[in-house]
A = this chain, B = another copy of it.
């Protein structure tokens, strides 16, 4: 049900011709109210795509009426023309929605794009596509919207949590250039809970900090990452803040796991648990260092419990630890104890897709989980094809 699981939203997904292969490439999500509160988090990459710059501006007042998303082109590193194109897209959405009776300006329309960096969007196809998408808006359109934002994703990703009288739902795309801050991904979450912009912002930041921000498939940070949360208030229910944050986090966590599970070329999902750290920041730093070690990622691909590569990754961090007190388990077998040889590595069973690496820093009581993928020849092939 995706973004239309919550009451007060319509959506559509169509093929506008932005992708040369004719696949769906344009999605529209509209908040039909009564409330139009919204919050967003965006890539921390300093090179930001035009739609990111635009959407950050229009979100400043905590209100959004609609989100238009395209795959088939990131509109990043496209200069002033790229920003004009984003602006024109928002104007077009406002124009067609106004014709349908929703009085709205471009300043209430967020824009998100994904695809190749450094290429202008084909506006002659995109703008007519907006008209077509608006004509197909439906309370059943969530699935089609989720399909239209796919790039190298092999499956579309949706998630829904329903509580007592209110719902949080969403859709996500992302399969490569997937690393914290956030992952290369577009995510739209919707809720019919009656929550104001400040409440949405707090819940969204709390949720993304421990979900999307802890996904690190390939260490590469995107120019286009966007996560939006829109509230229609259509349920008439205002949940307790903690309960609402938990529901948003559950949807984010589910979508984040779906991103890792569909990462480009990956054959393993690696759950990296860092335990007994002095601080949560230390745990996250160590987890990311392990997640980004290419030699370890290759070893996991080869089902080799090569714990020496885990230690060499930990050793590059500034986290509090003593090298001769480090312990490492792979799938529950403590192959490294006190910085040296532990249980027999032959005991480690790595046949299944999910692999758990536990790094015990023996320096405190904080912990964090980072999700990563292995490094495979398929990843290389998928990303070395010309202008993939």
Residues in B with CB closer than 8 Å to A317 are 46
Stretch at the interface among A75-83, A123-131, A194-202: A75-83
Chain A at the B interface: mostly helix, strand, loop or mixed? loop
Binding-face segment, A92-100, A204-212, A238-246, A374-382: A374-382
Question: Closest CB of chain B to A225's CB: distance in Å?
Answer: 11
Query: Copies of this chain, how many?
Result: 2
**A292 at interface (Cβ–Cβ under 8 A)?**
yes
A-B contact pairs, 29 of them (CB 8 A): A45-B312, A45-B316, A46-B321, A47-B326, A48-B315, A48-B323, A77-B340, A78-B341, A79-B324, A79-B338, A79-B341, A116-B308, A117-B308, A117-B311, A119-B341, A120-B341, A219-B294, A220-B309, A220-B312, A223-B312, A223-B315, A294-B383, A298-B383, A302-B383, A302-B384, A304-B387, A304-B388, A377-B377, A380-B380
Contacts of A315 in B (CB 8 A): 45-48, 221, 223
Considering the chains assembled together, what is the distance between the CA atoms of A384 and B295 in angstroms? 8
Q: Is the CB of A301 within 8 A of B119?
A: no
Name the one of B119, B298, B341 contacting A384, with C-beta atoms under 8 angstroms. Answer: B298
A387 contact from B219, B306, B387, Cβ within 8 A = B306
Q: Is A118 an interface residue (CB 8 A)?
A: yes
**Chain A 19-51 against B: per-residue CB contact (8 Å), 1 yes, 0 no?**
000000000000000000000000001111000
Other-chain residue from B46, B118, B311 in contact with A323 (beta carbon distance below 8 A): B46
Q: Does A177 contact B (CB under 8 A)?
A: yes
Q: Does A386 contact B (CB under 8 A)?
A: yes
A262 interface residue per 8 A CB criterion:
no
CB distance B383 to A295 under 8 Å? yes
Residues in B whose Cβ lies below 8 Å from that of A324: 79
**Residues 310-345 of A contacting B (Cβ, < 8 Å):** 311-317, 321, 323-324, 326, 336, 338-341
What residue in chain B is nearest A267 (Cβ atoms)? B384
In the complex, which residue of chain B has the Cβ closest to the Cβ of A295? B220
Q: Are A375 and B385 in contact (CB under 8 A)?
A: no
Known: A220-B293, A301-B380. Is A340-B79 also a contact (CB below 8 A)? yes
Residue A176 CB within 8 A of the other chain: yes
Digit string of A276-316 for contact with B (CB within 8 Å is 1, else 0)?
A: 00000000000000001111001101111011110111111
Interface size class, chain A: 35 or more
Nearest-neighbor residue (CB-CB) of A318 within chain B: B46
Give complex CA distance A47, B336 in Å. 13
A82 CA / B323 CA spacing, docked (Å): 14
B118 and A341 form a contact (CB under 8 A): yes
Closest B residue to A177 by CB, please name it: B295
Which residues 116-166 in A have Cβ within 8 Å of B in the complex? Answer: 116-120
Most chain B CB within a 10 A radius of its CB, from A118, A176, A292, A321: A118
> Cβ of A380: which chain B residues have Cβ within 8 Å of it?
298, 301, 375-377, 379-380
Q: Does A360 contact B (CB under 8 A)?
A: no
Residue in B223, B298, B299, B387 whose beta carbon sits within 8 Å of that of A311 in the complex: B223
Do A336 and B77 touch across chains, with their CB atoms under 8 A apart? yes
Q: How far is the CB of A268 from chain B (nearest CB, A)?
A: 11
When the two chains form their complex, are residues A77 and B339 in contact, meaning their CB atoms are under 8 A apart?
yes
A218: interface (CB < 8 Å): yes
CA A78 to CA B337, docked complex, whole Å: 10
CB distance from A382 to the nearest CB of B (A): 8
Closest chain B residue to A315, Cβ basis: B47
